[in-house]
Amino acid sequence: MPLTDSTIRNSKPHAKPYKVSDGGGLHLLVQTNGSKLWRLAYRFAGKQKTLALGSYPTVSLQKAREGRDAAKRLLSDGIDPSVQKRRQRLAERVSANATFKAVAIEFVSNRRHVLTPRYADELLRRLEADIFSALGHRPIADIDAPELLAVLRKVEKRGALEQVRKLRQTIGQVFRYAMVTGRAKNDPSIALKGALKPKGRVRNHTPMPRDELPTFLRSLDSYDGDPRTAIALRLIVLTMVRTGELRTARWPEFEHLDAPEPLWRVPADRMKMKTEHLVPLSRQAVATLNELRELPGTGDGYLFPSPSREGFMSNNTMLYALYRMGYHGRATVHGFRGVASTILNEMGFPSDWIERQLAHDERDDVRGAYNSAQYLSGRRQMLQHWGDFLEEVKSCGKVTLLAREAA
């Protein structure tokens, strides 16, 4: 006989829990403490199962029957109501933590073990400055391409085209993370390709014209500023490292300078993707380091100590030296990496050696877990060839590619 509200209210607790049936598998489980719980008994895939539908009177008799009927509909479609309920609860938990800002913070947090602290913080600052105020509170699954475009257009109007490129890249990474964690169905940043202004030529990567290399190298020998700055520029050219990696270099990182295979071991925490980087040193690089070691005030800490708060050469010291030498707008420090890459490729060295020496492949999560000594013998040969080439260029006053010796 179907239940009534009166029957339910008059169902008193007994010494043991008992059931009061309503029909169709729906029953009220009366507990010894007086609580009354709705349960639905059903069979699925040949197994007897029970679905909890809430407690009375929070869930009324009418609502309990509606829950039973909804579960029956699922069963008729071949769906287990208990599994569907777990899915709904998971979706609700995911939805509660599925704003763009929450997902972005989680994404960066999960990648901190492969990022330098500075770069991880930079990602969040970038989003905080231009994205979170407009989209941070929005459910990430609801954000579409036109909405993203409108936000990035505001940054674009400031002329910050490189910032727009980096933001779009980071936003795409956040969306792809949301997709694999069940909080977004697609990555709308993909649709923005071609809709934003191209960043054009990046001035801080401007390479020096190769026909000016002889004059530049000779100018370094007669540079009338701080000799340490000239030595720093020479080492940048010889080693192909980034400016920051050289400015923060310490003497203990340099090994076997008096042995046949000298090496600079750049620690993982100083590289963009926290992977140790090995730089084989040519005899020209070793001679330059020895020259630096002989300068007054050189200690056992930083190669280029400074009384500044950081304690080492400032970010613009080498760039301003280039300006002083007449290369304002025509060359930058970072651009020497491009010069080296182009010429070494033309000489026939394997691109894998060159890319590894430039540490470009550290950006890839899979390939980033490489053996830091990979291609080391070949890279040593390549950097020595590069040092000999630069020495010849300075001596003869013209750029002539040296034939690569057979490996």
List, in sequence order, every beta strand (DSSP E) within 156-270. Answer: 254-255, 263-266
Considering the candidates 65, 126, 168, 242, report the single residue annotated as catalytic.
Answer: 242
334 a catalytic residue: yes
Phi, psi of 201 (to 5 degrees): -75, 130
Write out the H or E segment, with its range, that includes residue 48.
strand 47-56
Cα–Cα distance between 119 and 143 in angstroms, integer?
A: 26
Residue 272 a catalytic site member:
yes
Which residue of the set 36, 68, 101, 334 is catalytic?
Answer: 334
In the chain the first and final C-alpha atoms are separated, in Å, by 92
- Which residue is catalytic, options 228, 272, 274, 380? 272
The residue from 337, 356, 379, 385 that is catalytic is: 337
* DSSP, res 204: G
Asked whether 407 and 375 are in contact (CB, 8 A), the reply is no
Catalytic (active site) residue 327: no
Active site residue 360: yes
Between CA 329 and CA 181 the distance in angstroms is 46
85 as an active site residue: the answer is no
Catalytic residue, from 19, 118, 283, 360: name it: 360
Q: Is omega for the bond preceding 13 within 30 degrees of 0, making it cis?
A: no
Active site residue 323: no
Residue 324 near residue 225 (C-beta atoms within 8 A): yes
Task: Give the active site residue among 18, 119, 302, 370.
Answer: 370
The answer to whether 207 touches 339, Cβ cutoff 8 Å, is: yes
Active site residues: 242, 272, 334, 337, 360, 370
